[in-house]
Structure 1
């Protein structure tokens, strides 16, 4: 039995400890039948400035302002800087340390400890010295810990991209809500005008003895209800403006300067070619999840090396003397070189606990990735289904609006011709206003869903080839991944 084999045998055991997480295969999440009827195009991936396609320059300016001033983005950037500091700390652990010191000691020895002239006298002992320490990274554990920190940095950087996308999407959706609030206010104002006209007409009919006071009370109730709806619509406008002010990182007065939005153009109903395969590199949350799995893999490799022996090298050299006169002289020199080997034999289970923790973190990272992947594909499917349905609903509702407007025009013609009553005209107008309100709600929902689909498709983010593969961890292996044969592991991280 060789010395190396004996050393490995003596080390603490990692037997029985392994990670259980298995990454989901995107190809196994079939969506072919769900998307079979939807047109596909390579151009269907959103652009980084996707909001400009909605056709409102005020919205463009608001998103630019939010991306500049929103405090949540500063938090995301700070987290990326924090992760970078961990990379620097882990890289420092891979390098040797060199320290230099100088000291002067004053010593008085009693005569009981040493005879005169040494005893009973006071002497100074100046010294200058330097130390060197280096723990060799025989098994690649320190490198793996550094690579794990690099993975966390990449994840934090991608999280910052995701935060910017989420912010731009939230601004666009709040802007859509503001536009719909104005449309509701238009309908509420028209309803109030119609209710007041109906109330005036009923009062005339009661005065003429045609109607009774019951009709007047009904008309008054309708006016009061219409006034309440106007107040609700006005409040919705104020709330939408305040929501936008919050997203812009400004006070509520900033919202008062936001003008009524234009009618926004929804995105075309189309899917990118190769959606299932390419979505992993197009969604920031999926890319960040992959990097965290990579980091957890490296952390396991780093912890496993703690079970193995290691070699350290220390050196100590300097000058010491009993006076400053001969401190800088050849006889004053001293030095020590100390190579050492460490064998982790018994630690009360600390290393096994650390490995269990690293395995659990890997399982958590894989579970989060799997959940994000499943959610991403189904988010897109849900938005596509909603847009498909909304196209049908909007077309049907437009026919209803056209029919209600034709009926309203006909009732006015009949009233002017003396055939129909004004009350009939007002009643038909109420149907028209209700149809227009529903059409406005569907149009806003269509734009909102288009924006959500943009987010589901990654919002213009593209990691390209910078997406780490998820390497399977052999649960039976006790050899650190850094020591396996070249090609047995794949990684995009390079020094």
Structure 2
């Protein structure tokens, strides 16, 4: 036994025959300052996972719940996560103690001229073996630990990618829902505008018949009616397509939401945060996935470096071996052994160094992808915040314009009741009011859409949790 350990020690001294050599430093991850982010966000702004519930529409809640359970694209990503889970479990199992049991019974004629005892030479006997074998990896150089970290990193990245897909899908549905509500609101206002234009045409026709207006004004009023009808039909077509898009996003047939009619006015989301920090954007599922890809790639580097060093296992066996089944259970049939098993790379033509270089390059690429994900997240959040500020100013100006239009309409109505102006002035003022209401609906829908984009940019309220395999 001592000779074996001396042999093991002697072989370990030959490790220098295959060494990693110097390696360039890996690309560093981006810092919050370089991405234009504060270290911490304003307190209390992290959205809940079901952030869309704040919109206050139970129909949207039900639609998103259906989509999260039945959307085929999510099922594809979930299958990739299941594959990563199984791979992580397989690596854990492969790196643990291994044991097997074997049995063999062979009817054999022994050579009369071979290297066998005279009592056996030339005879035919049953050779029976019952043996248990075991192997335990002695991970002195971290090869098995690195392999496990690779699989766990890939598993965690897959879990984060699934959540990123869920956040993206819920945001697409919420944006589509707001877009459908906008189209329905604009159609309602356009229908009101059609009634107003028809009323205006009838009044002008009466005035032309009475000689108070010319026929050119009537022709203009008559042309305005089909123009508004065309706008209504265009909106009807957009509404049908929007319903189809929502239904397919939810994993349903295109006609499944043919009667969906969300109202725009009640929809609301929380106010924009004052400060968005790296701590918040760092929870975005796509950023988390990129970070776990970096961890997995760096573990691959550690694993490739460990390949330069001995792979040492402790192996052993215990069992019974006998000539003849009747003698198998006798004490003299016992056999056992235990000792180290070593695999040591000596000369490989540079293959190990090349593999290590590949892993370094892959780790650098993973860090670069992570840095790009952080910058993209920072940009999306900054874009949404800037757009919301601009829309808030636009809404304030539009509200003042709407107030002025309502005041002008009231004045026109009072002048008409007093006999100081004809009813055309009231209809013209009503046209301006409807235009302002359409502008208000459009701005409200745009603001809600950008708020949904901000919720998506903030990660949709996801908290990164270690997967079950990692916790074990």
Query: TM-score with structure 1 length normalisation?
Result: 0.80
CA shift in 2, pair 1:280/1:142, >3 Å: farther
CA shift in 2, pair 1:221/1:166, >3 Å: same
Indicate if the aligned counterparts of 1:87 and 1:150 stay in contact, CA closer than 8 A. yes
Determine the C-alpha separation between the residues in 1 that align with 2:370 and 2:444: 34
Q: Is the partner of 2:315 in helix, strand or coil?
A: strand
What is the deviation of 1:155?
2.4
- In the other structure, the counterpart of 1:388 is 389
Q: Is the partner of 2:376 in helix, strand or coil?
A: helix
CA shift in 2, pair 1:130/1:230, >3 Å: same
CA shift in 2, pair 1:286/1:146, >3 Å: same
Q: Is the partner of 2:460 in helix, strand or coil?
A: coil
Determine which of 254, 263, 266 is the counterpart of 2:256: 254
Determine the C-alpha separation between the residues in 1 that align with 2:346 and 2:90: 27
Q: Report 1:399-418 matches (<5 A).
A: 399-415=400-416
- In the other structure, the counterpart of 2:92 is 91
Indicate if the aligned counterparts of 2:49 and 2:460 stay in contact, CA closer than 8 A. yes
- In the other structure, the counterpart of 1:24 is 30
- In the other structure, the counterpart of 1:80 is 81
CA shift in 2, pair 1:233/1:135, >3 Å: same
Q: Report 1:215-254 matches (<5 A).
A: 218-254=220-256
- In the other structure, the counterpart of 2:298 is 297
- In the other structure, the counterpart of 1:326 is 327
Determine the C-alpha separation between the residues in 2 that align with 1:419 and 1:245: 54
- In the other structure, the counterpart of 2:353 is 352
Q: Report 1:7-156 matches (<5 A).
A: 7-11=14-18, 13-18=19-24, 20-30=26-36, 41-107=42-108, 124-156=126-158
Q: Is the partner of 1:341 in helix, strand or coil?
A: strand
What is the deviation of 1:369?
1.4
What is the deviation of 1:301?
0.7
CA shift in 2, pair 1:118/1:311, >3 Å: closer
Determine the C-alpha separation between the residues in 1 that align with 2:333 and 2:124: 20
Q: Does the alignment pair 1:270 with 2:268?
A: no
Determine the C-alpha separation between the residues in 1 that align with 2:226 and 2:96: 78
Indicate if the aligned counterparts of 1:45 and 1:271 stay in contact, CA closer than 8 A. no
Alignment RMSD: 3.5
Q: Deviations over 1:83-125 (max 9, x none)?
A: 22122122123223222222333446899999xx999987654
Indicate if the aligned counterparts of 1:106 and 1:122 stay in contact, CA closer than 8 A. yes
Indicate if the aligned counterparts of 1:280 and 1:287 stay in contact, CA closer than 8 A. no
Q: Report 1:412-431 matches (<5 A).
A: 412-415=413-416, 419-431=420-432
Indicate if the aligned counterparts of 2:184 and 2:261 stay in contact, CA closer than 8 A. no
Q: Is the partner of 1:43 in helix, strand or coil?
A: coil
- In the other structure, the counterpart of 2:5 is none
Q: Deviations over 1:223-278 (max 9, x none)?
A: 32212211121222222222322233222343134333252124223325xx3242
Q: Is the partner of 2:155 in helix, strand or coil?
A: helix
CA shift in 2, pair 1:285/1:312, >3 Å: same
CA shift in 2, pair 1:119/1:342, >3 Å: closer
Q: Is the partner of 2:262 in helix, strand or coil?
A: coil
What is the deviation of 1:401?
2.0
Q: Is the partner of 1:307 in helix, strand or coil?
A: coil
What is the deviation of 1:203?
4.9
Query: TM-score with structure 2 length normalisation?
Result: 0.84
Determine the C-alpha separation between the residues in 1 that align with 2:66 and 2:393: 36
Q: Deviations over 1:323-365 (max 9, x none)?
A: 3332333444445545333221233443233322321221122
* Count of residues in correspondence between the two structures: 457
What is the deviation of 1:463?
4.1
- In the other structure, the counterpart of 1:379 is 380
Determine the C-alpha separation between the residues in 2 that align with 1:112 and 1:462: 76
CA shift in 2, pair 1:494/1:402, >3 Å: closer
Q: Is the partner of 1:48 in helix, strand or coil?
A: coil
What is the deviation of 1:421?
4.6
Determine the C-alpha separation between the residues in 2 that align with 1:31 and 1:359: 28
Instruction: Pick which of 340-349 and 184-193 moved more.
Output: 340-349
What is the deviation of 1:305?
0.5
Q: Deviations over 1:115-167 (max 9, x none)?
A: xx999987654433333334431201111110221222222223333333223
Determine the C-alpha separation between the residues in 1 that align with 2:114 and 2:279: 82
Determine the C-alpha separation between the residues in 1 that align with 2:351 and 2:281: 37
What is the deviation of 1:27?
3.0
Determine the C-alpha separation between the residues in 2 that align with 1:108 and 1:444: 91
Determine the C-alpha separation between the residues in 2 that align with 1:75 and 1:262: 33
Q: Deviations over 1:6-65 (max 9, x none)?
A: 412112x32244453211111333357xx9xxxx84122223333333233333333333
Indicate if the aligned counterparts of 1:58 and 1:261 stay in contact, CA closer than 8 A. no
Determine the C-alpha separation between the residues in 1 that align with 2:44 and 2:106: 77
Q: Deviations over 1:166-218 (max 9, x none)?
A: 23222221111111011111122123223333444455566667777766654
